[in-house]
Structure 1
Amino acid sequence: MTWTATGTLTAEAATRRPELLSAVVADGLARLDPENAETVGVAAIDAALADTAAFCERYGVAAEASANCVVVKGKRGGEVRFAACVVLATTRADVNGVVRRRLDVRSASFAPVDKAVALTGMEYGGITPIGLPADWPIFVDAAVAAAPEVVIGGGVRGSKLFLPGRALLALPGAELVEGLGRATG
């Protein structure tokens, strides 16, 4: 397969380069059906440039082709619920509206970094929907799912994944969510 949103990077099949992934991402990729797993490419990057803006600028990747995966925590009574939200980098997840209602919680916020890292087994700045805890919902914005290709974290700061947006809907717990991503600015 050829990946096109790679800018100056060259992607290889992620199934053949597990050393570029966190262990949970490699495991999550191995659990995907082969048809979807083969659509995922990976490229090594400078870990200091993992944040979206720096990554896009350095490697010539369009922000519109980049997706962010954020971990959200919601509370209802004494129960805490976690979810992942995947939105285009040009948008922000509507945590207090769409996400709060989907999680059926009274309040929702971004999970603290240390908690997100501990629960996902991934590095901050590289958290991705592939390999997340099986009981978490993964809310995928409709714009991400419709994208021919998106760039997301590889579970570590030193890599990025490239895949068709629709492939994210094959992940366990994935749900298509209209209006999840809100325009920034």
Structure 2
Amino acid sequence: MRAPIGDFDSAVPAPDRLDELTRPVAEAVRHWRGSVPAEQILYVDTEPEWADTAVFVEHYGRDILEQSANCVVVAGKRAGETTLAACVVLSHTRADVNGVVRRHLGARKVSFASMDTATGESGMEYGGITPVGLPGSWPVLVDAAVVDLPYVLVGSGRRRGKLLVPGKAFAELPGAVVLEGLGVA
């Protein structure tokens, strides 16, 4: 099957590639619920050394930058309590951590979670964290611009491989909250 975006050799329905995904991502795909059928979530094989955005677009097409999203894990702190959350923003933007995220979480301070925390708590590899399969207790803050795209490229839970997900599916993830202005230039 031809990928709907990017210059990939092929795209395969993610339910047919569960063995290529980390356990939490595979479980999320296996038990997928929502208006978008699981078969519309596609897996594309990619080289792990090309996982970082700038290198990735050099190999798989510059046009993909406008249709790619990053998922970053943040830690909000207030009164000695820490809340982990994910922010999903288009790759050419950054998450408004000190504004939109801090206000939404009701946190005094928000910072990016450490690599050990992000990978340990998500069960995913650094550089491949995806909103698909994150712990159900986490808020998943999604920029409205992500939801508006027909397909969005995100991590697969590993540095090797990516998922192509219909934008509207991000609004249906467990814990998802769609926020205007989450991604800023």
TM tier, smaller: over 0.9
Counterpart of 2:41, as a letter, is V
Q: Aligned AA for 2:136?
A: A
Corresponding residue of 2:127: 125
Residue 71 of structure 2: which of 59, 69, 72 is its match? 69
Instruction: Note the residue ranges of structure 1 that are not aligned, 5 or more in a row.
Output: none
TM-score computed with the length of structure 1 as normaliser: 0.95
Note the alpha carbon deviations across 1:102-145, whole angstroms, 9 max, x for none: 11100001101111000000000000001100100101101000
Distance (Å, rounded) in 2 between the aligned partners of 1:41 and 1:119: 25
Partner of 1:151: 153
Maintained 8 Å contact 2:65/2:91: yes
Determine the structure 2 residue equivalent to 1:24: 24
Deviations, residues 15-69 of structure 1 (Å, cap 9, x unaligned): 0111221111000112212743122000111111111111111111520011000
- SS of the residue corresponding to residue 38 of structure 1 reads helix
Q: Which amino acid aligns with 2:70?
A: N
Match of 2:39 in 1: 38
Structure 1 segments of 4 or more deviating over 2 A? none
Secondary structure at the counterpart of residue 133 of structure 1: coil
* Corresponding pairs, count: 183
Distance in 1 of aligned mates of 2:37 and 2:183: 24
Which residues in structure 2 correspond to 1:34-183 (within 5 Å)?
A: 35-60=36-61, 62-183=64-185
Provide the rounded CA distance (Å) in 2 between the counterparts of 1:49 and 1:3. Answer: 18
**8 A contact 1:36–1:170 mirrored in 2:** no
SS at match of 2:37: helix
TM-score for both structures, normalised by structure 2: 0.95
For structure 2, which runs of at least 5 residues remain unmatched after alignment?
none
- Aligned residue for 1:148, secondary structure, equals coil
Identical positions, percent? 50
Q: 3-state DSSP class of the match of 2:85?
A: strand
1:50-105 Cα deviation digits (max 9, x unpaired): 11111111111520011000001010011000100000001000000000011110
Secondary structure of the corresponding residue to residue 17 of structure 1: helix
Contact 1:36-1:167 within 8 A present in 2 as well: no
2:101, 2:110 within 8 Å by CA — same for their partners in 1?
yes
- Partners of 2:180 and 2:9 in 1: CA distance: 31
Structure 1 residue 3, shift from structure 2 partner: 3.5
